[in-house]
Chain A
Amino acid sequence: GMPVEQNPPALSLYEGAESGLRCNFSTTMKGVQWFQQNHRGRLITLFYLAQGTKENGRLKSTFNSKERYSTLHIKDAQLEDSGTYFCAVEPNNMGYKLTFGTGTSLLVDP
Chain B
Amino acid sequence: NAGVIQTPRHKVTGKGQEATLWCEPISGHSAVFWYRQTIVQGLEFLTYFRNQAPIDDSGMPKERFSAQMPNQSHSTLKIQSTQPQDSAVYLCASSPRDWGYEQYFGPGTRLTVL
Q: Known: A41-B108, A102-B42. Is A95-B98 also a contact (CB below 8 A)? A: yes
Interchain CB contact under 8 A, A45 and B105: yes
Q: Known: A86-B43, A96-B31. Is A45-B100 also a contact (CB below 8 A)? A: no
Number of residues of chain A lying within 8 A (CB) of chain B: 23
Interchain CB contact under 8 A, A43 and B105: yes
In this complex, the member of A31, A41, A102 whose beta carbon has the largest number of chain B beta carbons within 10 angstroms is: A41
Q: Does A107 sit within 8 A of B, measured CB to CB?
A: no
Q: Does A39 sit within 8 A of B, measured CB to CB?
A: no
Taking Cβ atoms with an 8 Å cutoff, the residues of A that contact B are 30-31, 33, 35, 40-43, 45, 48, 50, 86, 88, 90, 94-100, 102-103
Interchain CB contact under 8 A, A43 and B91: yes
Chain B interface, >50% SS class: strand
Closest B residue, CB atoms, query A95: B99
Interchain CB contact under 8 A, A95 and B100: yes
A-B CB contact pairs (8 Å), 17 listed: A30-B99, A30-B100, A31-B99, A35-B105, A40-B107, A42-B105, A42-B107, A45-B104, A45-B105, A48-B102, A86-B43, A90-B99, A94-B56, A96-B56, A96-B99, A98-B35, A98-B45
